[in-house]
Amino acid sequence: MAMMNIVGAVNHALKIEMERDDSVICLGQDIGKNGGVFRVTDGLQAIYGEERVIDTPLAESAIIGTSVGMAVRGLKPVAEIQFLGFIYQAMDQLAAQAARIRFRSAGRFTAPMVVRAPYGGGVRTPELHSDSLEGLFLHSPGLKVVMPSSPYDAKGLLIAAIRDPDPVLFFEPMKLYRAFKEEVPEEDYVVEIGKAKIVQEGEDVTIITWGAPTPLVKKVAEEFRDEGQVSVEVIDLRTIVPMDVETIMNSVKKTGRVVIVHEAVKSGGVGAEVSALINEHAMFHLEAPIMRVTGFNTPYPVTMVEDDWIPNAERISKGIREVMAE
């Protein structure tokens, strides 16, 4: 197996799918000759040409609108939005068009397309470059939402997303792009969309997270375990829509205590949905109120304070201690 970071794993997945299927088309600003703002598509245009790796103007609505048209007509576009914070420009094309094609046509047409976008804080970017907006799309039926946290998952989930018959949003954690490498099979494989991963097994408390915070949560959980304080089970959802409710409930029924960690703002976020599901399916197994450790209810802040705004080790540890004290 090869050692890859997330950038390399996503690039490899795109190569596999473009080689396997001539209908797979990549499009976005600067993704061709320049290989994208993070070089995720580096080298693809040289291999597959300008008609399959298309440089577009800086126009998010046009990129997604074009992708919807391509998808309905039988192609499999993989669109790149340079930063998730700019996806507001394309909300109509996503929520009012791509998400509804199957429902609107009673299944006669579908929109098999992928929208890739980097997101997440801790990398000192200007405004609208770090926002975590997965909650917007949890509330937009018809869209799948995938958020990997490792190179292995990124490759397998992206291949699964490209082969999916419906639109998939694939959000890539900027902070983790080149943070670490791990062994990734060079051959074709799929990670099932909608299946969470138990990153660390535990008995006392469940932490539910996804995407960018996952390695930090795992590190904190390992410290609690090594110090013999608390046995922490860590679940990486991997996929926000569809959500693996069964894995969540099995863990909650085992530990009875829950901390949810995400970078997005707290109000109306995915954490609130997870908390509601636990109340519906496993409330009588809870030993303490559910704790959320999240971003604050403000626009993403200036760089001087972002390390305190996003969940850090101190806040996650405090959350664990508080639910254990109940």
pLDDT recorded at residue 269? 93
Domain boundaries, the chain: 2-184, 197-324
Per CATH, 2-184 and 197-324 having the same topology is answered yes
DSSP letter (8 states) at residue 39: S
For 49, other C-beta atoms within 10 Å of its C-beta total 11
- Chain position carrying tokens 């598509």: 41
**Residue 324: DSSP 8-state:** H
Residue matched to tokens 């030993």: 287
SS3 at position 262: strand
3-state secondary structure (DSSP) of residue 304: helix
| CA angle centred on 150, ends 148 and 154, rounded to 5° | 50
R_g over Cα of the chain: 19
pTM beyond cutoff 0.85 = yes
Q: How far apart are CA 111 and CA 67, in angstroms?
A: 9
CA dist., res. 322 & res. 313, Å (int): 14
Instruction: Find, among 117, 115, 114, the residue nearest to 129 by Cα.
Output: 117
Q: Which residues pair with 77 in a beta bridge?
A: 25
List Cβ neighbours of 152 (8 Å cut-off, separation of 6 or more): 9, 182, 183, 184, 185, 191
Catalytic, out of 12, 129, 262, 281: 129
Kindly give the pairing relationship between strand 114-119 and strand 76-80: parallel
Q: Tell me, which fold does domain 2-184 have in CATH?
A: Rossmann fold (3.40.50)
Residues in the chain with pLDDT values less than 50:
none
Cβ 259 vs Cβ 233: under 8 Å: no
DSSP-assigned states of every residue in 182-217: EEE-SS---PPTT--EEEE--SSEEEEE-STTHHHH
Q: What share of the chain is helix, strand, coil (3-state, %, to 5)?
A: 40, 20, 40
Q: Could you give the residue ranges of the DSSP H alpha helices within the chain?
A: 6-20, 44-48, 60-72, 91, 101-104, 134-138, 151-163, 214-226, 245-255, 270-282, 306-309, 313-325
- Residue 233: both structure tokens together: 């089970």
Domain 197-324 has CATH 3.40.50.920: yes
* Number of other CB atoms surrounding residue 95 within 10 Å: 17
Q: Is 262 noted as a catalytic residue in this protein? A: no
Q: For residues 140 and 91, give the distance between their C-alpha atoms in angstroms, rounded to a whole number.
A: 10
CA distance 238 to 318: 24
Q: Give the per-residue pLDDT at 34.
A: 93
Q: What pLDDT does residue 125 have?
A: 85
